[in-house]
Amino acid sequence: MGIDIAGLRGDAKGLVVYFIRAANCAICVRHVKALAGLGLAARGVAVAVVVPGGAAEAERVRRVARGVPVVSSDGVAAHRAAGLDRTLIVQHSGTLLFDATGQEVYRLAATLPTGSFDATALDRAVSRL
């Protein structure tokens, strides 16, 4: 997929990966803060945020991520590998949940970032792990 799912998941029973549209996307940053506040680590689920771009973009998001690991993609390579393409100039964003075997068990993706994160639906999916 372009990112190391097993490495990010570690010993956790699952992994949530939020692919943000851009480091300067205010809605995406709000979703990152909400994701950080869900307390998923206490439930045995690892979390990571993938930022398109390089180290500078990742650092910009890391400042607001409240302890959630932020990794940068090589441009948009990880997004594309996860099936998150572009529509015209807008990078798609999405929330993916992987179980302990690395199997994707939940996906919410959208062209507009307002449709790429749903805390309630994610909570339900995590409960099914």
Q: What is the pLDDT of residue 23?
A: 93
Instruction: Tell me the pLDDT of the chain averaged across its residues.
Output: 90
DSSP reduced 3-state for 54: coil
**110 DSSP β-pair partners:** 93
Q: What is the pLDDT of residue 36?
A: 93
Strands 104-110 and 45-51: unpaired
List of domains in the chain:
5-127 (3.40.30.10)
CA distance 104 to 99: 7
Q: What is the pLDDT of residue 122?
A: 97
